[in-house]
A and B are shown apart, each in its own frame.
Chain A
Amino acid sequence: SQQGEEDPQALSIQEGENATMNCSYKTSINNLQWYRQNSGRGLVHLILIRSNEREKHSGRLRVTLDTSKKSSSLLITASRAADTASYFCATVPGGNKLVFGAGTILRVKS
């Protein structure tokens, strides 16, 4: 079974607005990662936050992690049409593998 759950399942916003996606997980983690997938393509790694970090920034991306609530959020500021994609969180419950959440489909309207 998947470790992560994400909400919302789908999000539609206007260009220039901020988009926030949330991820919850079940077990302890070493780190949590966010990936983007454009339609019909492979996944692209966006950002990684370690379990001892609470917030991380990369360009227009801001990720927070609350290990006490087993949750993370991804904020995309000043969204662009090119940000339209599916976004997945992923955790490492054990072993050499990631477990992905169900994903959030983001649509940015221009």
Chain B
Amino acid sequence: DAMVIQNPRYQVTQFGKPVTLSCSQTLNHNVMYWYQQKSSQAPKLLFHYYDKDFNNEADTPDNFQSRRPNTSFCFLDIRSPGLGDAAMYLCATSNLGGSRTYEQYFGPGTRLTVT
């Protein structure tokens, strides 16, 4: 089945130690998104790629970076995680064809703990 896969599902890192979260998709969608979601809050968009075109949200901290080496994969790098970065990180995809509905398909998320 076509899907969005996130690895790992749970990640524990130490304060200040760089960490990378990964996302892959078999949907062949041209847009990939990274969201941060804290407990009982809505997902907050960090950035997205439209093909290779990178779009950063204005309030995304510089500590967060992303790479999309090809259509299928996207990575979220947190250079120096702080305690406030502990959250669920969600990857999503969308296929922006002619209909432009912007319906998104989400992975199961990676729960990041910072110790």
Point out the residues of chain A lying under 8 angstroms from B96, CB to CB: 96
Q: Of B12-20, B39-47, B62-70, B76-84, which stretch is located at the interface? A: B39-47
User: Which of B31, B94, B105, B106 is the most central at the interface, judged by chain A CB atoms within 10 Å of its CB?
Assistant: B106
Contact of A96 among B42, B90, B102, B107 (CB under 8 A): B102
Binary contact readout A21-33 vs B (1 if CB under 8 angstroms, 0 otherwise): 0000000001101
Q: How many A-B residue pairs have CB under 8 A?
A: 62
Whether B105 lies near A45 (C-beta < 8 A) is yes
Shortest Cβ distance from B41 into chain A, in angstroms? 7
Flag whether A75 is at the interface (Cβ < 8 A): no
Q: How large, as a class, is the contact surface on chain B?
A: 20 to 34
Whether A30 lies near B90 (C-beta < 8 A) is no
Whether B103 lies near A41 (C-beta < 8 A) is no
- Known: A96-B31, A101-B42. Is A42-B90 also a contact (CB below 8 A)? yes
CA distance A105 to B102 in the complex (A): 24
Whether B109 lies near A42 (C-beta < 8 A) is yes
Shortest Cβ distance from A71 into chain B, in angstroms? 17
Residues of B that sit less than 8 Å from A by CB: 4, 6, 31, 33, 40-43, 45, 48, 50, 55, 88, 90, 92, 94, 96, 100-109, 111
Residues of A that sit less than 8 Å from B by CB: 2, 30-31, 33, 35, 40-45, 48, 88, 92, 95-103, 105
* 10 A–B pairs (Cβ distance < 8 Å), ordered by A: A40-B88, A41-B108, A41-B109, A48-B103, A88-B42, A96-B31, A96-B102, A99-B45, A100-B42, A105-B40
